Amino acid sequence: MKSTGVVRQLDNLGRVVLPIELRRTMDISVKDPLEVYVDGDAIVLRKYQASCIFCGGTDDLIPFREKLLCKVCAEAIRTLI
């Protein structure tokens, strides 16, 4: 990981403000969803991107029962039936 040199404190509700320079660099806008990961003792924030539940692909997604499938995986499932 790369250090930015920025230190922020949590407020009373557990929130932290991401600096505008970092949000611009990472193309994060107001109301953009972020995913939270834990990597050892680090908390990682990543801009959320919808993906296929099977392969993780992000192209040609099809909603199915509140989940997302890509067309390739959907076709592979069809051939199994």
Tens of pLDDT, residue by residue over 58-68, are 999 999 999 99
- Is 80 exceeded by the pLDDT of residue 1? no
Instruction: For residues 6 and 42, state if they share a domain.
Output: yes
- pTM of whole model > 0.75? no
Instruction: For residues 38 and 66, state if they share a domain.
Output: no
Give the range of the structural domain holding residue 67, as residue numbers without chain letter: 50-81
Instruction: For residues 41 and 17, state if they share a domain.
Output: yes
Structurally, the chain folds into a number of domains equal to 2
CATH of the domain at 32: 2.10.260.10
Surface-to-core class of residue 69, CB atoms within 10 Å of its CB (0-12 exposed, 13-18 middle, 19+ buried)? buried
Instruction: For residues 44 and 54, state if they share a domain.
Output: no
Q: What is the mean pLDDT of the chain?
A: 92
Q: What is the pLDDT of residues 19-70, one digit of tens each?
A: 999 999 999 999 999 999 999 999 999 999 899 999 999 999 999 999 999 9
